[in-house]
Amino acid sequence: MRNNSDFLFASESVSEGHPDKVADRISDTILDTYLAADPEARVACETLVTTNQVILAGELRGPKSITKEMLNEKARETIREIGYDQDGFSWKTANILNLLHAQSPHIAVGVDSNESKDEGAGDQGIMFGFATSETETLMPAPIYYAHKILKNLNDLRKSSDHKGKGFLPDAKSQVTLRYVHGKPVGATSVVLSTQHEESMPQENIRDVLKELITNTLPEGWMCPDKEFYVNPTGIFVIGGPDGDCGLTGRKIIVDTYGGAAPHGGGAFSGKDPTKVDRSAAYACRYLAKNIVASGLADLCTLQISYAIGISHPLSVYVDLHGTGKDIDETKLEKVLRELMDLSPRGIRKHLRLNRPIYKQTSAYGHFGRHPDPVKDDFTWEKTDLVDALQNAFNR
């Protein structure tokens, strides 16, 4: 996004009940199942969901004790947790077709370590990280609030509060914010479409959602009433996989920075951390966030590139968008390589990624989340490099 100028910027989010997110969550549940049994397991699980159908495909390497029947039950349990028990999509009756198979040995040869080489990247690719000082989580404000609105709606739906009665799992939000001198100052429009029971009047839905959104945004940020759109096409009763097909990895902008930063194109869910699409993107966010948290800059975009089977990154690039506090970006790139081993193995060890911590990442964004001290998840959101970065630049 432009720095020190006036503009409008919008980002969208989707709920855990959106069909693409149902697919993401099933894929990450499969991944967690394998990592819980074997931290070195390899998983690339793709899921397709449609009217009362679930298709699992991809490649695996892990304990033989994990059977297809076990994975099918994990998928069914995931659908139940989200809240789908509708005629067109139900955890009880959905047909599950499991086409998962063993990992190609040609991929394993290129990726695995041996006596003569370190473990290589699971694929070629470019990964980006981003951070900005405009929110407490160092995330862009439009995607931060788009996520927060849907998370609060989901919590309301699953609560005992009578206001949440009748809301169903599928929902989408879109928030447009006005920036003045590069800083967000308020919403100019908010769009929220949510699945609901047929008996709910649209006026009631609008009233509940207006209160929820007003309480979610900072005081005075709510958009004009005429720019507040609820279920713009009318009723939204048929939703989720019954209303639209869902696929793993189709919401990569929702998963990251809401379009405020570049994206390398690789999706996250269902991939074990040897796949740099996931692990290196987490490392990029971790480094960018620590740069901003250290006070060295207000904005940071970071790119790392890899080649399949090669352990070291081919490039590290940092852009502070003119907000650096007397920082040489070339020196910063060198410092980052010294502070963190950016090989696939080094990233996994530093961020402790070989653990079953991924199901909770599948909705409401992979970034900008608060680490749980008990689960020790979202380790890429920690700011434990701040002191080292400040020391490197004599701050």
Alpha carbon of residue 305 to chain centroid: 20
Sheet holding 42-50, edge to edge: 95-102, 53-61, 42-50, 246-247
Q: Report the distance separating Cα 169 and Cα 134, nearest Å.
A: 30
161 three-state secondary structure: coil
CB atoms within 10 A of CB 122: 26
Give the H/E segment covering residue 177: strand 167-180
Q: Report the distance separating Cα 80 and Cα 95, nearest Å.
A: 14
Task: Tell me if 250 is assigned to a ligand binding site.
Answer: yes
Alpha carbon of residue 114 to chain centroid: 33
One-letter amino acid of 178: R
Write the CB contacts of 197 (distance below 8 Å, at least 6 apart in sequence).
166, 167, 168, 237
One-letter amino acid of 47: T
CB atoms within 10 A of CB 173: 26
Task: Tell me if 170 is assigned to a ligand binding site.
Answer: yes
Specify the residue for token string 């690719």.
Answer: 125
Two tokens at 108? 């394993």
Task: Tell me if 251 is assigned to a ligand binding site.
Answer: yes
Specify the residue for token string 């996250």.
Answer: 268
CB atoms within 10 A of CB 169: 24
Q: Report the distance separating Cα 146 and Cα 42, nearest Å.
A: 33
Measuring CA to CA, which residue among 225, 140, 214, 146 is closest to residue 184? 140
Task: Tell me if 271 is assigned to a ligand binding site.
Answer: yes
Q: What is the chain's alpha carbon radius of gyration, rounded to the nearest angstrom?
A: 22
Task: Tell me if 349 is assigned to a ligand binding site.
Answer: no
Task: Tell me if 75 is assigned to a ligand binding site.
Answer: no
Q: Residue ranges for the binding site for L-methionine? A: 59, 103, 244, 275
Q: Residue ranges for the binding site for ATP? A: 18, 170-172, 244, 250-251, 267, 271
Q: Residue ranges for the binding site for Mg(2+)? A: 20
Q: Residue ranges for the binding site for K(+)? A: 46
Q: Residue ranges for the binding site? A: 18, 20, 46, 59, 103, 170-172, 244, 250-251, 267, 271, 275
